[in-house]
């Protein structure tokens, strides 16, 4: 998707989500013909002309100043992540889509993955492809898949595809909706940074066509990096447990993510996870 189109859709989505009463505007009599703010109302709040904002929202104007972007962010009540996303979209230029090189895991990252063998851990690429996992992460999150699949670029599992299209993964997350929102929010952020990524565009297109729930979340344009959050899992072998998924950036590959899955100390979830270690071994078969 062209950068200007992403900016246009983001502004329209955020404008539709912002109600006049949320920003202190009086509610006028009569039925409103648009959801959220009118362009005229947003322009007034941001201190820009209606014609200028219209060109910006329609993708006909570029190089919006920092002051204008800050004013729009304030008027739309964007949080820090959405504000950064707005600046990112407004600062980029149109670039042709291209197929990026195959992502690989640095040997030092593999050493780190191996060193935390008692903790479920996996490495995700920027499009949420599983680039590597240790046996415990495989057993916890995707025991129904081939443990060696991440070693074959053409067969690599994709976390987003699994979450929306794989019934095993959907059943695993008791609070699936919240996990889905987090994954889509993170993908939105990545798409803003890499509008030229043809593989990312293909993944988004596939999920949009195949899953109405993904399409609805994607069209909402919420932006949220995945950092750390807790989820309740319903594992087919060990039952229910609550885990925290924390994300770190490997020093050699900052666009990849090292995901560590932990449990609360001295909790029943910690005891449950210990049971799973009997199903996992290192190294995985190749």
Residue labelled with tokens 């001295």: 266
What are the CA-CA distances from residue 52 to residues 55, 58, 77, 94 (Å)? 5, 10, 20, 20
Give the domain-ending residue among 43, 61, 91. Answer: 91
Query: Does residue 97 belong to any structural domain of this protein?
Result: no
Condensed to tens digits (0 to 9), the pLDDT of residues 87-113 reads 877 776 656 667 778 899 999 999 999
Query: Does residue 99 belong to any structural domain of this protein?
Result: no
- The pLDDT assigned to 281 comes to 57
- The pLDDT assigned to 264 comes to 94
- The pLDDT assigned to 273 comes to 93
Domain co-membership, 164 together with 267: yes
Query: Does residue 96 belong to any structural domain of this protein?
Result: no
Domain co-membership, 253 together with 195: yes
Condensed to tens digits (0 to 9), the pLDDT of residues 34-86 reads 678 888 888 888 888 888 888 888 877 666 788 888 888 888 888 888 888 88
Q: Would you tell me how many other CB atoms lie within 10 Å of the CB of residue 186?
A: 23
- The pLDDT assigned to 28 comes to 57
Domain co-membership, 12 together with 125: no
Residues of the chain with confidence (pLDDT) below 70: 1-4, 26-34, 61-63, 92-97, 281-286
- The pLDDT assigned to 127 comes to 94
pTM of the model: 0.77
Domain co-membership, 31 together with 112: no
Query: Does residue 195 belong to any structural domain of this protein?
Result: yes
Domain co-membership, 79 together with 167: no
- How many angstroms separate the CA atoms of 273 and 267, rounded? 10
Q: In terms of Cα–Cα distance, which of 195, 196, 170 is closest to 183?
A: 170
Total structural domains in the chain? 2
Domain co-membership, 48 together with 12: yes
The CATH code of the domain that includes 7 is 1.10.260.40
Residue span of the structural domain in which 227 resides: 107-279
Q: In terms of Cα–Cα distance, which of 90, 251, 125 is closest to 197?
A: 125
Percent of the chain topping pLDDT 70: 90
Residue labelled with tokens 């994709």: 158
Query: Does residue 284 belong to any structural domain of this protein?
Result: no
């Amino acid at each position: 998707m062209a950068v200007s189109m992403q900016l246009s859709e983001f502004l329209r989505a955020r404008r539709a989500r912002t109600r006049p009463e949320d920003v202190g505007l009086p509610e006028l009599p009569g039925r409103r013909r648009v959801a959220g703010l009118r362009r005229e109302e947003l322009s007034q709040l941001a201190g820009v002309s209606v014609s200028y904002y219209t060109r910006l929202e329609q993708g006909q104007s570029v190089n919006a100043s920092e002051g204008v972007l800050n004013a729009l962010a304030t008027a739309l009540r964007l949080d820090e992540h959405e504000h950064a996303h707005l600046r990112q979209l407004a600062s980029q230029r149109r670039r042709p889509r291209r197929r990026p090189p195959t992502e690989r895991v640095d040997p030092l990252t593999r050493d780190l993955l191996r060193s935390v063998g008692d903790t479920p851990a996996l490495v995700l690429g920027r499009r949420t492809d599983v680039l590597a996992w240790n046996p415990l992460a495989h057993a916890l999150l995707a025991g129904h898949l081939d443990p060696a699949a991440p070693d074959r670029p053409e067969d690599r599992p994709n976390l987003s595809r699994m979450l929306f299209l794989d019934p095993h993964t959907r059943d695993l997350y008791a609070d699936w909706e919240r996990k889905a929102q987090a994954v889509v929010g993170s993908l939105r952020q990545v798409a803003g940074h890499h509008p030229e990524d043809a593989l990312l565009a293909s993944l988004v297109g596939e999920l949009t066509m195949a899953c109405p729930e993904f399409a609805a979340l994607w069209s909402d344009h919420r932006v949220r990096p995945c950092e750390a959050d807790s989820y309740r899992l319903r594992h087919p072998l060990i039952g229910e447990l609550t885990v925290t998924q924390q994300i770190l950036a490997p020093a050699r590959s900052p666009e990849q993510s090292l995901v560590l899955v932990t449990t609360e100390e001295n909790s029943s979830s910690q005891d449950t996870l210990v049971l799973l270690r009997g199903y996992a071994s290192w190294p995985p078969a190749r």
